Structure 1
Amino acid sequence: MLLRLPTSVSEAQEYLTEGAVPIGGATLVWATWQRDGFPDRAMSLRDLPEANTIGPEALGAAVVLNRIDDRVPEVLRRAAAGVGTGAVRRTATVGGNIVGSTLRCLLPAALVLDARAVILEPEGVTETDLAEVLAKRQLLLSLRWRTPLTSNHHKAAAEPGGASPVVVAAALHPVDGGANLLRVAVRCEDEVFSGSTGCEGGADDMLRRLRDASFGRLPAMAWELVGRQVTDLLARPEAA
């Protein structure tokens, strides 16, 4: 297998045109390749500057999870810290987790940030929404978002041999006119739910609107976690 390590977007485009397979951190594909055979050409974005950015409103797809720190919002930082073991976080990448993984532990955090996806195609670089990236399994270069007022994240304890643990992410965003917007996303039984509501009324009113609109199928345990996270978020000074 020939591994390509582009250092510019134009090089990466060229390798895609040649048929190179993106590998991320290879934590998810290596066992499959050992079983089914390795591709002739593969490509890692680990040396591409555009895929390695870390900042308050951007995160590169080639960033390994243990590099994600307080430069990004709390919700993303806590989501990354809860993925797998330390060994996994030292090799797994943002792009591999969101696009390549079925668990997509970072996806709820990205959704509540209302993140946009910057993708690379043979024709060039474009920006699109996360739903399209996931549906088409496009090559993610980075995520971009606008800084929230505050955010939080909770991952329930995993049951040995059981289903994937419930993940709840929430973020509060300023909107025009001085009001705030609450975004919530939940991963439950490998399905991701997301919704938003204005901050009119109290926490109970906001939770009622969220459940009626987007979270009606959540089991009671997952919905209880949503309530705790939303209550915590709204009690923070930034939410005033």
Structure 2
Amino acid sequence: MLLRLPTSVSEAQRCLSEGAIPVGGATLQWAVWQRDGFPEQAMSLREVPEANVLGAEELGAAVLLSRVDDRVPEALRGAAARVGTGAVRRAATVGGNIVGSTLRCLLPAALVLDARATALDAQGPYETDLAELTAKRPLLLSLRWRTPLASGHRKLPDAPGGEPPLVVTTAVRDDHVLRVAVRVGYDVSCESVPCATDPAPALEALSRTSLGTLPAEAWDVVREEVTAVLARAAGR
């Protein structure tokens, strides 16, 4: 297998048009290739500047999870810090997690931040939303969002041999909108409601959305996380 390492978006676009298969940290893809056979050529974005951005309102697809730090909101930082083991986080990338993984641990955080994605295909880069990104799974270049007033991430402990653990992620935007994303099993739901300092009206509004059908144990976590994030937003 030939691994191509483009150094620009235009070069990466050319690699795609020539049939190169995108690969991030290969923490998941490697086992599939060992089972099904390796492609003739693969491509990594680790040398492309646009895929390595890391700032208050942007995160590149080639950034290793271990590098996601306090430059990004707590929702993303907390999600990245709780993926797998330290060894996995030192190899896995943002793009591989959101587009290539079935768990997509960073997706709830990206959803509450209302992030937009820049993707790349053989015709060039284009902007898309997270719904299209996860449905069509194009090559992700980067994510961008507006800085929230506050955000948070909570992942419950893994149950041995059970389903993926519950994840609750929250963010309060500067237009006083609360966004809450919940992962139950492999399914992620995200809802938005108006909010103020008092969590009661926001929780009442959330109870009338799809999140209102959550099991009682999951709703208890949502209540705790909403109360906490609204308090942090009010205390800024």
Same fold (TM over 0.5): yes
Q: Which runs of 5+ in 1 are unaligned?
A: none
Aligned partner of 2:232 in structure 1 is 236
Say if 1:64 and 1:92, in contact at 8 Å, map to a contact too: yes
Kept after mapping to 2: 8 A contact 1:170/1:230: yes
**Partner of residue 18, structure 2:** 18
Runs of 4+ deviating beyond 3 Å:
237-240
The partner residue of 1:183 within 156, 179, 201 is 179
Deviation at 1:200, TM superposition (A): 5.0
The question of whether the paired residues in 1 share the 8 Å contact of 2:196 and 2:230 is answered with no
- Alignment of 1:5 onto 2:5: yes
Q: Distance in 2 between matches of 1:60 and 1:236?
A: 27
Name the aligned partner's letter for residue 154 of structure 1.
Answer: R
Q: Following the alignment from structure 1 to structure 2, what is the Cα–Cα distance between the partners of residues 214 and 128?
A: 24
**Residue 32 (1) aligns with residue 32 (2):** yes
Output the TM-score relative to the length of structure 2.
0.97
Aligned-pair identity in percent equals 64
CA distance in 1, matches of 2:188, 2:233: 29
Corresponding residue for residue 210 of structure 2: 214
Deviation at 1:201, TM superposition (A): 7.7
Amino acid at match of 2:177: L
Q: How far did 1:151 drift?
A: 0.5
The structure-2 alpha-carbon separation of the partners of 1:123 and 1:237, relative to structure 1 and needing over 3 Å to count, comes to closer
- Residue 193 (1) aligns with residue 194 (2): no
RMSD over equivalenced CA pairs, Å: 1.2
Q: Is the 8 A contact 1:149 1:239 kept in 2?
A: no
Task: State the Cα deviation string for residues 144-165 of structure 1 (Å, max 9, x = none).
Answer: 0000011011000111111100
- Map of 1:129 onto structure 2: 129
CA distance in structure 1 between the aligned counterparts of 2:129 and 2:88, rounded to whole angstroms: 27
Establish whether residue 148 from structure 1 lines up as the match of residue 144 from structure 2: no
Distance in 2 (alpha carbons) for counterparts of 1:232 and 1:11: 45
Scaled by the length of structure 1, the TM-score of the pair is: 0.96
